[in-house]
Copies of this chain bind each other. A is one copy, B any other.
Amino acid sequence: MSLGEFDLIRRYFERPNVQEAAASPAQGVQLGIGDDCAVLRPTPGHDWLVSTDMLVEGRHFLSTVAPGRLGHKALAVNLSDLAACGATPRAFTLALSMPRVDEDFLQGFAQGLFALADAHGIALVGGDTTAGPLNVCITVMGEAPPGQALLRSGARAGDDIYVSGQLGDARLALEVFRGKAALTGEAFEQVRQRMECPQPRVLLGQALRGLASSAIDVSDGLSGDLGHVLQRSGVGAALWVDALPRSPVMAAQPAALQLECLLNGGDDYELVFTAPPQRRHAVQAAANASHTAISLIGRIEAEAGLRVLDGKGQRMNPGFRSFDHFKS
């Protein structure tokens, strides 16, 4: 069978409800898939936020991943960038390179992609498909009231440091795939799901607008990503290892492996954010309103650098190895 590029787009990526959405100025999509450009109408006066992420087989996902989970993850990592800025998702484009047309793959991929898109009310408005090594590139767009986007540059000495959810499970799953850790049955499935199906903290991000002084999502590892915040904000930080939130599966691992996963594990897509201590109640209320667990894990300090403290407040010296695509 020979399904061509245009048939493929129509069959898997043009949806009746996207076409309906295209007729709805409420969502701001004037015209979706099918022309040279999508035509959107942003909310007048609001800021328009844009981010792009490219996923490559063997780097960002394993060849063994289920197509539905890949579709989910490709959009999730992009939504996570909108979440980190507190933006409301609006629209996304998808560029997909595949060695050949595999209908089982496409069906599963589209299913996972659209399930997450629908959950966040974001419309697929355009894209590109081509033959080539498997590569998924998504660009997301969202909105925030003017000047209210959460940035990396606003952390101030004295601010609390929080993280959502739990850290390190995605890295633990990767270590199992690498043969460096052993997990079986339900425990493995739990951490594998964290690696393959991250949940972007979109509602939390929006709830933190006007409350958080800075935010970033954990894609390359807590130490590295918090490091970006410290650098951009011109501050340092102390992190309390015992306060880093971890799953029961993680808590059962050897201490050194836990530390490595918690501090340097990537792919968690949790939000790390800062806020002044006087906003502690408001921050907790925002977390409750968005049904997202948060943990207070440290404090911003004037002195540059990242200090990791054990349960007795003693300084530890773990290695920081944030993920770098050209160094790993």
Contacts and interface: CB of A to CB of B under 8 A. Distances in A.
A93 B128 CA distance: 15
Contacts of A96: 54
A42 interface: yes
Contact size range, A: 35 or more
B56 A93 contact: no
Contacts of A238: none
B60 A130 contact: yes
Contact of A37 (B51, B58, B59, B326): B51
Interface string A122-142: 000111111111010101011
Residue with the greatest number of chain B CB neighbours at <10 A, chosen from A34, A35, A44, A91? A35
A127 B52 contact: yes
Contacts of A34: 152, 232
A56 B137 contact: no
Given A37-B85, A59-B131, A91 B50 contact: yes
B52 A48 contact: no
A37 B2 contact: no
Nearest to A139: B139
Interface stretch (A4-12, A63-71, A189-197, A302-310): A4-12
17 contacts: A5-B326, A8-B326, A31-B151, A35-B85, A35-B153, A36-B82, A36-B85, A36-B217, A37-B49, A37-B82, A37-B149, A41-B48, A51-B126, A52-B137, A54-B132, A56-B135, A132-B135
